[in-house]
Amino acid sequence: MGAGKSTLSTQHAQAENAVLISEDTWLATHYPDCIQTFEDYLTFSSRIKPFIKHHVMNILATGTNVVMDFPANTVKQRLWFKALCQQANCSHKLYYIERTNEQCLAQLAKRRQQYPERAHFDNEQVFHQVTAYFEAPQNDEGFEITII
């Protein structure tokens, strides 16, 4: 949380003329005001995954590149991406943004000012809850990893 995934994803999508698919946008559109806790996020995030996968597969089948603004903070999350890429038979890049907790928390504070409606979720308590599960990507996971 707060590392800069959305900013980086937007920049890459524009530079590559790719379709940007943001988990935050899908969740806010399909489940407005439903995500109040980390557990809510986990529930609703898992609900949209089949739809996202189908949508991404259709876009990739046209030869169009896709940039996915989704967290890949755990091995399990990255396995979902890996399976999608394997099924689509497409190449992939994983961007790992190295930030300190302090940098992320400072960004979350700015985000709460910009988007007050997200303040209930984008806070220090949820940040620490999410960060407790973080597993840095490893080369043996089979991704082309770019560290930023």
Q: Residue 49 sits in a domain of what CATH number?
A: 3.40.50.300
Overall number of domains in the chain? 1
| Cα dist from 81 to 70, 118, 122, whole Å | 10, 26, 24
pLDDT one-digit tens code per residue, 110-132: 999 998 988 888 899 999 999 99
In this structure, the number of other CB atoms found within 10 A of the CB of residue 79 comes to: 12
Residue 1 and residue 131 in contact, taking contact as beta carbons nearer than 8 Å: yes
Query: Six-digit token pair at 12?
Result: 């890459």
The one-letter amino acid code at 123 reads N
pTM of the model as a whole: 0.91
| Cα dist from 86 to 83, 100, 106, 143, whole Å | 5, 32, 36, 11
pLDDT one-digit tens code per residue, 6-38: 999 999 999 999 999 999 999 999 999 899 888
pLDDT one-digit tens code per residue, 69-110: 999 999 999 999 999 999 999 999 999 999 999 999 999 999
For residue 140, the enclosing domain spans 5-147
